[in-house]
Amino acid sequence: MWGRWARLLEAAKRTAMKKNVSKEQHHPDALRASFSGKLGYVLAVAGSAVGLGNIWRFPYLAAKYGGGMFLLVYLILMLTFGYALIVSETALGRMTGKSPVGAFEKFGKSLPFRFGGWVNAVIPMLIVPYYCVIGGWVIKYLVEYLRGSVMELAEDTYFTSFISSSVSVEFWFLLFSVMVFLVIIAGVKHGVERVSKIMMPILVILAIFVALYSVTRPGAVEGIKYFLIPNFANFSWMTVVAAMGQMFYSLSIAMGILYTYGSYIKKDVDIEKSTTQVEVFDTAIAILAGLMIIPAVFAFSGGDPKMLQAGPSLMFITLPKVFASMGMGTFAGVLFFLLVLFAALTSAISLMETSVSTITDELHWSRTKACLLMAVVMAAVGSGSALGFGALDFVQIFGMSILDFFDFLTNSIMMPLAALSTCILIIRVVGFAAVAQEVECSSAFRRKKIYVFFMKYLAPVCIGIILVSSIANVMGWISM
């Protein structure tokens, strides 16, 4: 079945490529693939953006770092800083026609340029291993729902005992990773994207349905208030640090992806408008996921602070309780985890594809060799993260499990550095005039003044503060 699917898709791709050749000749790099149109681009970016970040990561961070306060800080950061960075990365990608390493090197070959490009490019390589561990958890839950274990999954201790059972976690992690590799090697990425276009709307409808169910449970009102109404008493520095990391993660910013996607688009794509569309869509899904999970925490455990602090396990502990109480729990559980699996797969594939193409482009390695290198990275970092709650739970890095450590390292340290590199590149080298000119290729740059203000003053200051405070926090110099 895989073989036939792959052959059909290859044939479709060849026809599409033939059609595209003539259109691409004016492009900086005529051989570069290109999106079929404006909608294709928005959908591709949205497909990469919407993933476990929205459904699994956002609700647990919001629950942990202040509910409504977290949401407010997240929205402000996204509309100002996130917006400016998406526009910048996309414009630089389109201007140079390159992924981050090439884009930075186009402006200079000295060490700072190399560092700027590589820090952006390495992040996906470090995220994809632990992303696949969570993907494995999702498959495990899907399989359990298929077997009808609705009641067992809803037990408090189910998740904890699952993640400490090393062999099982490793098995599901490997299964998810193999699925990702198969798609990358067979080159059926476009097929998956097509399937996900059908799955995404179903996911949205199901999420609305589950959220409605969750917010109407007795006791859920407190949860809705906690999630939607900012309460300054719940604010801490960690709220800002976590919200900024989450914004990078969820919108796929500061990790080279948007440079790469920008390099694929034509001059007529309205960068400002597509940025807004992606932000609205991505945030809507995150808020929906928050409404599914946070009110349910209050309904099922009375807003127990320990539950709110549950972290990465929150989705896996709370949703099964919701499903178990729904009456048709098996159906809801199977459908939900199947859809999340697809959202996770499309994002993991885009992370892996970016990593593999950076290695092939920059080190001039063959695709097979690049896949082998990624397999080694996956085995090392991914297995470490998978076993970090079981056989390797004695390994604590700065007080964090291996998975949490890689999440922290990429989101709170490396992404701010990557974003800072982009800011400096634009301020010191490229110049705002050139970026504006690139955006204006397709339409007027409506928010130009405010964009320059965000990039010049807000972004470097924000990033500097965040970087220093997250390092100080892990070193134990300050507690946030």
| Rounded-to-integer distance, Cα 423 and Cα 456, Å | 8
Nearer to ligand PHE, 303 or 353 (CB): 353
Site mask for ligand PHE (CB under 6 A), range 4-33, x = bound: ------------------------------
CA 101, 102, 108, 110 torsion-angle sign: positive
Contact between 252 and ligand PHE by CB under 6 A: the answer reads yes
**Residues numbered 441-480 forming contacts with ligand PHE, rule: CB under 6 A:** none
CB of 3 to ligand PHE, least distance (A): 27
Among the listed residues 48, 274, 318, 358, the single contact to ligand PHE using CB under 6 A? 48
CB of 95 to ligand PHE, least distance (A): 21
CA separation (Å) from 266 to 90, 261, 270?
A: 11, 11, 10
Site mask for ligand PHE (CB under 6 A), range 285-324, x = bound: ----------------------------------------
Contact between 422 and ligand PHE by CB under 6 A: the answer reads no
CB of 47 to ligand PHE, least distance (A): 9
**Residues numbered 53-112 forming contacts with ligand PHE, rule: CB under 6 A:** 53-54
Contact between 192 and ligand PHE by CB under 6 A: the answer reads no
End-to-end, the C-alpha distance of the chain in Å comes to 52
Among the listed residues 88, 196, 283, 350, the single contact to ligand PHE using CB under 6 A? 350
Nearer to ligand PHE, 53 or 303 (CB): 53
> In the beta sheet, which residues pair with residue 397?
400
Question: Are the CB atoms for 227 and 67 separated by under 8 Å?
Answer: yes
| Rounded-to-integer distance, Cα 469 and Cα 57, Å | 21
Contact between 52 and ligand PHE by CB under 6 A: the answer reads yes
Among the listed residues 69, 188, 334, 351, the single contact to ligand PHE using CB under 6 A? 351
CB of 41 to ligand PHE, least distance (A): 15
Phi-psi region of 280 (alpha: psi -120 to 50; beta: other; left: phi over 0): alpha
Nearer to ligand PHE, 196 or 347 (CB): 347
What b/e readout covers 185-222, taking b as 16+ CB neighbours within 10 angstroms? ebebbebbbeebeebbeebbebbeebbebbbebeebee
| Rounded-to-integer distance, Cα 450 and Cα 168, Å | 51
Instruction: Point out the residue whose Cβ comes nearest to ligand PHE.
Output: 53
| Angle subtended by helix axes 83-96 and 100-107, to nearest 10 | 70
**Residues numbered 254-273 forming contacts with ligand PHE, rule: CB under 6 A:** 255, 257
CB of 260 to ligand PHE, least distance (A): 10
Tell which residue, 82, 401, 459, has the closest CA to residue 249.
82
Contact between 51 and ligand PHE by CB under 6 A: the answer reads yes
Near ligand PHE by CB under 6 A, which window of 10-18, 43-51, 178-186, 379-387?
A: 43-51
The first and second tokens of residue 444, run together, are 């007027």
CB of 122 to ligand PHE, least distance (A): 13
| Rounded-to-integer distance, Cα 51 and Cα 359, Å | 24
| Total of chain residues touching ligand PHE, rule CB under 6 A | 14
Near ligand PHE by CB under 6 A, which window of 27-35, 323-331, 343-351, 370-378?
A: 343-351
Near ligand PHE by CB under 6 A, which window of 27-35, 48-56, 103-111, 377-385?
A: 48-56
The rounded Cα 354 to chain-centroid distance in angstroms is: 13
Angle at 363 between CA 104 and CA 109, to 5 degrees: 30
Nearer to ligand PHE, 56 or 298 (CB): 56
Contact between 196 and ligand PHE by CB under 6 A: the answer reads no
Length of the chain: 480
Near ligand PHE by CB under 6 A, which window of 51-59, 106-114, 402-410, 423-431?
A: 51-59
Contact between 355 and ligand PHE by CB under 6 A: the answer reads no
Among the listed residues 250, 412, 422, 473, the single contact to ligand PHE using CB under 6 A? 250
Near ligand PHE by CB under 6 A, which window of 34-42, 135-143, 249-257, 464-472?
A: 249-257
Contact between 347 and ligand PHE by CB under 6 A: the answer reads yes
Near ligand PHE by CB under 6 A, which window of 32-40, 45-53, 326-334, 408-416?
A: 45-53
| Rounded-to-integer distance, Cα 257 and Cα 259, Å | 5
CB of 235 to ligand PHE, least distance (A): 24
Question: Using CB under 6 A as the criterion, which residues of the chain lie in contact with ligand PHE when the complex forms?
Answer: 48-49, 51-54, 249-250, 252, 255, 257, 347, 350-351
